[in-house]
Amino acid sequence: MTPDRLRLLVPVMALVALLAGVFWMQPRAASYTGLNLLLNLAVPIALATIAQMLIMAVNDLDLSMGAFVSFVACVTATFLNDTPALGLLILAAAIAVYAGLGVIIHLRNLPSIVVTLGMSFVWTGLAVLILPAPGGSSPEWLRTLMTVKPPLAPMAIFASVLIAIVAHLIVMRSTLGVRIRALGGNERTVARSGTSIIATRAAAYALAAFFAVLAGMALVGLATSADANIALRYTLLSIAGVILGGGEFIGGRVSPIGAVIGALTLTLAGSFLSFLRISPDWQIGAQGAILILVLALRLLFNRLEARR
Amino acid sequence: MQDPVLQVHDIAVRFGEVTALDGVSLTIAPGECIGLVGHNGAGKSTLISVLNGGLTPQTGSVGDGPYGIARARSLGVRCVFQELSLCPNLSITENARIAHRDLPAFGWRGTARRIVSDSLDAIFPGHGIDPRAQVGELSIAQRQMVEIAMAFSSPTAPPRLVILDEPTSSLDAGLAAQLLAHVKRFIAQGGAVILVSHILDEILSTATRIVVMKDARIVADRPAADFTQGSLVQAMGSSAKELTARRAQITGDDALRLTLPHGLPFHARKGEIVGLSGLGGHGQTRMLLALHEAHAPQWWPAATPAVTFVAGDRRLNGTFDLWSILKNMTAAALPDLARHGLIRPTAEATQAATWKDRIAIRTPDLQNPILSLSGGNQQKVLFARALATRAPVVLMDDPMRGVDIGTKQEVYRIIRDEADHGRTFVWYSTEMEEMGLCDRVYVFREGAIVAELVGEEISEHAILAASFAESNRGAA
């Protein structure tokens, strides 16, 4: 078994264990409707996790993910609904801004954490300007897309699989994906081969912004309206999802399939704790405990692997 | 004569006050293997960086027209670096995608797999490496093999000049022989190779021409047949410079001991200055860190530390850039300057003033930021920080890198003075004359101590002879 597969084993086991726990607590959840209710909010989280993963693949961290997804949600619920052309233009500009951030971070040798933390206030500010109070409404086609009822399995499962496959193709199979991961693995090697580091980093940021835009749109499709603070918790959820899914903060070690599984696990963890009748006051702490448990398991696996 | 593969003419490279290359000219013709030898800091690595396009010399010309990484690659110049430079998180195939920009856009995995496999098969028959494996899983030797194989392979135009910087450093004798045989085949087919190695046998047996560098210049450039091991070692060293005389042999109790996994054991007596020499990166820094690890408290600072450390790379792990000179100087001795956990400002100021005078730090005010000082004076502050502690042992990791000669003399005097008062110094240096100040010198090669030189035995020739293995790992 390759180390990459071994890495995927822990998140898969965590997901299976949580699903089993949920079904045991609440057998009615093991149905088409039940699964859809449990997992449909995982779709935007999975997209945001893929976005965060792309940033982490180049050894950076995006602390503005939640604010940016909220901003996109506000644009989607207003401009994209009322004047689609203008809405698309704004979203395209936002992606261009992200690419620019990648360039600035590289050229000025700035810590990505500081830059994105600063940007998070910019995105939140813009979101508040667009939607001072919760409101707006989802474009009809988006609503239809997110509430589609495919045969066999609910939309959330199809969407998660699709996201995992597309992200896997881009990040693990394409030339661009290899370059992005190489940048995280050994920047000097990339420079010595004559590949532009700036262009690669900018591409990673732009690609991340693209997935984050999809996350914001998916969220509005599910929630039907938006709010400037709708996705603030996505910042930490997305980072946790990447790590849970076998990714690392540095070294360009990421797994798109793992990231999607990580996002599903985090979503389920919330429901599982509700079923356990743990009061919401304790839920965040309990969620953290689950995270620590899974990471401890992974550490154990890494040790075993190193001893081999 | 055929057109040269690459020609450099009268190039000079300076890093600040240090001259790394000084008027170097070299013509590389097809079908030759140039053996490049020289001691640390002779300019080998800088020359390789220039040839590779990664460094632009301040004066002189490389090839014709502007030269850079892209130009070097289009001319067919490839380089295998001394420190391994593959991405550990990628598979071999994916690393080939990074190295070879001329792979096809689609179906590159198949092509990359094929050329890397073919090249590995050609150079290291029976290698047993799967090109789909992740580089992080491979052993060091396998990584080096892959890197070499990638340099000799190409999806389109074959390489014309391959630069191998210590390519056999992690290969065993059999693999090294396979590589050198391939180098000979490659040059027979009209390719050119530059081979850097600390194993003189490899150079003498493989190279057609040998270029010796010393003090940023080429001092000898002759056919390999004109050299013997003895004459090569002699060409690298300076015959004129005599190392300073030293004291009578020190006897007394051991202040430090460390048994290394291979080679001779290490020990240092009280009041002794022990030098660590040999080529850079052969385990000296690692041993200093091991000594520090073994003697420094791990959790809580001890009232009297057993060892203190002077870092060589001061920007990386020496100075606190945002602090004043005073804070930088007293940082290691704070327990002595504090009462009930609070620092006494007067005691701190007194100690700093004492050391400012003793070590002659040139600043009007110790409250100035550390970066207001010149590099040499910053280094003196680091010395003062270490010497101001009560630690009986001082570990020094090539601390004089990039320091001017005047400062060096002052620091040498203080080191000698402190040693006379019973302090022990363990001193790793890449500079030959500093070894002349030591009472005893250990020479490192491949992570082990291979020679111990005492008193009069310490000479540049003896150190060079021990750092360059005469043969290919003997019977290994």
| pLDDT tens digit sequence for A54-90 | 999 999 999 999 999 999 999 999 999 999 999 999 9
Determine contact: A192 vs chain B, CB below 8 A. Answer: yes
Q: Answer yes or no: do B69 and A188 touch at CB < 8 A.
A: no
Cross-chain CB nearest to B101 (options A2, A193, A253): A193
pLDDT of residue A208: 97
DSSP 8-state assignment for residue B189: T
Contacts of B71 in chain A (CB under 8 A): none
Q: Give how far B239 is from chain A: nearest CA, Å.
A: 38
Tell me, yes or no, if the two domains B6-236 and B254-458 fold the same way.
Answer: yes
Domain extent listing, chain B: 6-236, 254-458
B151, closest residue in chain A (CA to CA)? A193
pTM of the model: 0.81
With beta carbons under 8 A apart, name residues in chain B contacting A185: 87-90
A4 touches chain B (CB under 8 A): yes
Q: Residue A193 and residue B85: Cβ atoms within 8 Å? A: no
Instruction: Tell me the CATH number of domain B254-458, given options 3.40.50.1360, 1.10.645.10, 3.60.15.10, 3.40.50.300.
Output: 3.40.50.300
Q: Is A132 exposed, middle or buried (0-12, 13-18, 19+ CB in 10 A)?
A: exposed
Helix (H, G, I), strand (E, B) or coil at A271: helix
Q: Tell whether A193 is within 8 A of chain B (Cβ).
A: yes
Q: Find the mean pLDDT for residues A241-263.
A: 92
Long-range contacts from B233-241, C-beta under 8 angstroms, 24+ separation:
B233/B200, B233/B461, B233/B464, B233/B465, B233/B468, B234/B461, B236/B37, B236/B38, B236/B39, B236/B42, B236/B212, B236/B464, B236/B468, B237/B39, B237/B432, B237/B460, B237/B461, B237/B464, B238/B214, B238/B460, B241/B432, B241/B433, B241/B460
Name residue B367's amino acid. Answer: Q
CA separation, residue A167 to residues A49, A170, B204, B476 (Å): 11, 5, 53, 49
In 10 A of CB A198, how many CB atoms?
A: 12
Q: Is B231 on the interface with A (CB under 8 A)?
A: no
Contact A189 B85 (CB under 8 A): yes
Instruction: Order the strands of the B217-223 sheet from edge to edge.
Output: B77-80, B161-165, B192-196, B33-37, B209-214, B217-223
Grouping H, G, I as helix, E, B as strand and the rest as coil, residue B280 is coil
Q: Which of B336, B334, B329, B398 has its CA nearest to residue B361?
A: B329
CATH 3.40.50.300 corresponds to the domain B6-236: yes
Tens digits of residue pLDDT in A148-166: 999 888 999 999 999 999 9
- Written as tens digits, the pLDDT of chain B (476 aa) is 578 899 999 999 987 767 889 999 999 999 999 999 887 778 888 899 999 988 899 999 998 888 888 889 888 999 998 777 899 999 999 999 999 988 888 889 999 999 999 999 999 998 889 999 999 888 888 999 999 999 999 888 889 999 999 888 778 888 999 999 999 999 999 999 999 988 888 899 999 999 999 888 999 999 999 998 888 888 887 544 444 545 566 677 777 778 777 788 888 888 889 999 888 778 888 888 888 888 877 777 666 778 888 887 776 777 888 899 999 999 888 888 888 889 899 999 999 999 888 888 888 888 888 888 877 788 888 888 988 888 889 999 888 776 766 777 788 888 888 888 889 999 998 777 788 888 899 998 888 898 898 888 888 888 888 888 765 444 33
The pLDDT value given to residue B239? 44
The pLDDT of residue A4 is 74
Q: Does B99 touch chain A (CB under 8 A)?
A: yes
Residue B346, both tokens: 């007067």
User: pLDDT value at position B365?
Assistant: 87
Identify the closest residue of chain A to B72 by CA–CA distance: A194
Segment A134-138 mean pLDDT: 93
> Do the beta carbons of residue B85 and residue B29 sit within 8 Å?
no
How many contacts does A have with B, using Cβ atoms within 8 A?
Answer: 68
The partner residue sitting opposite B98, judged by closest CB among A3, A178, A251, is A178
Q: What is the pLDDT of residue A259?
A: 95
**Is the CB of B147 inside 8 Å of chain A's CB atoms?**
no
Alpha carbon of B43 to those of B210, B213, B214, B285: distances in Å?
Answer: 15, 7, 7, 21
Rounded CA gap, B209 and B32, in Å? 7
ipTM of the complex as predicted: 0.88
Tell me whether B69 touches chain A (CB under 8 Å). Answer: yes
- Model confidence at A210, pLDDT cuts 50, 70, 90, reads very high
Tokens of B170: 């992690």
